[in-house]
Amino acid sequence: MSGMVVNGSLSKTAVNGSAGAKSQVAGLLVAGLTVLTLLFLTGLFEKLPDAVLAAVVIAAVIDLVDFGSLRRLWGIYTGPLGQIYRFAARVDFIAAVGAMLGVLIFDTLPGLFIGITLSLLTLLYRSSHPHISALARQPHEAGLWVDQSRNPELEHDLRINVIRVEAGLFFANADFVRARIVESLTDSTKAVVLDGETTPFIDVTGASMLVQVRNDLRRRDVDLVLAREVGQVRDVVGKAEESFRTDAIFPTVDDAYAATLNNLDQR
């Protein structure tokens, strides 16, 4: 057990910890020493400058800040992550710094609430702005489709956009996903294949969005098909939007791509 002071402040806990306290027995010892000090040693501390007490508290509190962990959290970052999530790319670092400052400025419990709130806000931002990647087929690897931005050397048919939403489809990101799908279209695009492997769930709003996107693309003479959908995605889409044809859902991206390509060649 730690030497947490009952109803005590963070600074008291820090001093207790730095002194080597391991259990609540430390509280009893401190209480006894406090009584002895008040009875017999007040003269020694009567003219002690406040700066001395402040220095003791600051030195103890500094030990509670784990700078190594903060550096590690800051280092969990790459250029692509920064381009995708921007300020929210370092979600763990943001929550850790927020909690640390909240504890130092306010107190332990408010600091924890601040850290939790920042975590929820950054996670909500990331889930409402999911990464949507354009895919290209890896040569000599059956069924392997990879992110074009990380593999720019791969060639692909400009008539077919194969894209992947790396998140669930629900009310918070439906409009964002719809806008990005429409923005991915070019004058050469004749079909869009949506890889659902990384879409673990969908709600009614997400299913309605897919139907809306399909209708929007039809007006541009562009087809929309789904591939590799998770079972529950198929169930929700089928129940919520009966107008979405089951023949527009394929078990693999290769199957969807081949069927779409064959359809375009027959036009």
Could you tell me if 182 and 222 are in contact, meaning their C-beta atoms sit under 8 angstroms apart? no
CATH numbers and ranges of domains, the chain: 10-62 (no CATH), 67-128 (no CATH), 132-265 (3.30.750.24)
Q: Is the dihedral of CA 38, 43, 49, 55 positive or negative?
A: negative
Give the pLDDT confidence score for residue 55 in this predicted structure.
Answer: 80
Give the pLDDT confidence score for residue 17 in this predicted structure.
Answer: 65
**pTM across the whole model:** 0.69
Beta bridge mates, 164:
133, 195
Backbone φ and ψ for 249, nearest 5 degrees, come out as -120, 125
Give the pLDDT confidence score for residue 178 in this predicted structure.
Answer: 92
Average pLDDT, consecutive stretches of 10 residues, N- to C-terminus, the chain (267 residues): 48 65 75 83 78 76 77 84 78 88 84 90 88 86 81 83 90 92 89 89 87 88 84 72 65 87 76
Of the CA atoms within 13 Å of residue 218, those in its CB half-sphere come to: 8
